[in-house]
Each structure stands twice: as C-alpha cells, then as structure tokens.
Amino acid sequence: MTFLVTGATGTVGRHIVDELVRDGRRVRALTRDPGRAAMPAGVEVVAGDLTMTDSLASAFDGVTAVHLINFGGDDYGLLRNGREIVDLAAKAGVRRVTVLGGWDEGTLEPAVRDGGLEWTFVHPTEFMSNALKWAEPIRIEGVVREPFGDATTAMVHEADIAAVAARALVEDGHAGRTYGLTGPERLSTRDKVRVIGETIGRPVEFVELTEGQARERMAAEGQQQELIDFLIGVFGNVPEEPNIVNDTVERVTGRPARTFARWVAEHADAFRP
C-alpha cells in the first residue's frame, strides 16, 4: 500500500510523513517544490499543487490512502476544486482519505462525503506552533505584545494532530468520524507567555494591546483586512466548543496529548537569543 501525504512539508504534513515512515509504510509526499522537501530516506517525493487538479494525476497513481488538506495556494485559501480532486482519487483506486480542515469548509469536504471513500475529518483547535510568531520579539526584547490576554484556547501539538491522522489512514474503525482535537489544557495568552518564559528560563513580559493597536500592527505588517477581521473575531471571542479539552488524541493514539510546555521545550532554541 502506498500512502500519499499532501501538504507534506507543512506544519502537520511533515509529522504525518514521519509517523507513517516509523510505522513502516510506503509514503509518497506531495509538494510544490520537491527540491526543498528534505524528506526521510525512502519517501518518494512528487511535485504537485492541490489547486491545480491536472498536476495531481501521477501523484495518485497506485495510492490506496491519502491525507488531504482543504486549502492551498500562496494565500492558503479554501480549495475550489474539491470535487475534481475526489473524482481523481476515486478513479485512481484510493479507498481511504483523511482531511485536515480549518475553521470553514470548502468544496473538498462535501465532495469527500459523497465520493464513496472511507473518510475521516481531523479538526484541530489552535496549533501550538502558532506561538512561533512570538519567537523574534522574545529573542530580541523578551516581550510579547498581543490583544486579548485572557482569551483561552486548548492548543494542540501538531505532532498529535499528525498521529491521529496517521492512525486513521492505516487502521480500520475511523471511517465516517470527525475528530475535534485539543491539547490537555486550556491556556490564556498570558499563560502561554508565562509557560514560554518558565520553560526557557528567561523572563518574558506580556504587554496587552488594545484591539485598535492590534489592527494597526497587523495592517502595517501587510495583513489583508479580511484576515485581520477573522483573527480579531476568533481571539476576541474564542469559540467555546472547539476549545473544550477532550481526550481524542489519547483515545485514537493510545497516549496522552502533549503539553504546551513540552512543545516549548522542543522549540526552545527559537525563543533564546
């Protein structure tokens, strides 16, 4: 069996590749830039772009199970060609699919549901890797400036997301399920900054911005207004249900979800001068 991982160089995709390789599976990794993929030995790397269906035909050849993401392109927009991707996968003989989804559904999810495949949707809450946006200001100033200091999320380790997706690809019993994934604790923005400081052994100050200051900063950084409104909306009024801590990671993988402190320890060098 060949397992195809799309978005293979991404935050979650690379961990899925590693999980499948450790499990002794034959892995094919799809990326837009194979020359920069740096995959483990034995992984077949192929070029393709999820937003361009014609570029995917050879990638699906001989594949039994595939991990898909519901976004693509430089702007990470929702895929518009979900039906074409699913039709291509089914024609190639793919039987099982996992889909990493975000806040919204695009064309891919309904096509997968109707496509006659064994499907599993993976819906994580906030990625722990989002904290890397604070790495530079922490290294340089020892300060994090953000709005909504009391906003809490149940951040999940990207490797745990990958472990769940990999289990769903290789095991029976996951078809037709949607897994909402959280970490083991719910932390506020202040908590996250505190954990980083404690873990790296260096004081990190949290400075709370007003919503207006946050909007001005994001605009100055070149963020589009639509994205600014989305981020302010999400963190200004954190959705409750996706951030209720659950044990899905442990139930699917057999081990507890990783803590944010562990994630920080794994990436400590990014935060140190």
Q: Mean pLDDT by 10-residue block, N- to C-terminus, for the chain (273 residues)?
A: 96 97 98 94 96 95 97 84 97 97 88 96 97 98 97 98 98 97 98 98 97 96 91 92 97 98 98 95
Burial 98-112 (b: 16+ CB within 10 A, else e): bbbbeeeebbbbebb
Structure tokens at 5: 């991982």
* Per-residue pLDDT, 6: 97
N-terminal to C-terminal alpha carbon distance within the chain: 45
Q: What are phi and psi of 153, to 5 degrees?
A: -135, 160
DSSP labels, 14-53: HHHHHHHHHTT-EEEEEES-GGG--PPTT-EEEE--TT-G
pTM: 0.95
Structure tokens at 158: 């990207």
* Per-residue pLDDT, 173: 97
258 vs 235: CA distance, rounded Å:
22
Q: Are 4 and 28 in contact (CB under 8 A)?
A: yes
268 vs 197: CA distance, rounded Å:
10
DSSP 184: S
* Per-residue pLDDT, 186: 98
* Per-residue pLDDT, 73: 81
* Per-residue pLDDT, 70: 94
* Per-residue pLDDT, 227: 86
* Per-residue pLDDT, 103: 73
Structure tokens at 67: 């991990």
167 vs 180: CA distance, rounded Å:
15
- Cα angle 165, 169, 172 (rounded to 5 degrees) comes to 115
Give the DSSP H/E element, type plus range, for residue 66: strand 63-69
Q: Are 5 and 20 in contact (CB under 8 A)?
A: yes
17 vs 85: CA distance, rounded Å:
20
Pick from 123, 120, 57: which is nearest to 90 by CA? 57
Q: Are 130 and 151 in contact (CB under 8 A)?
A: no
* Per-residue pLDDT, 226: 87
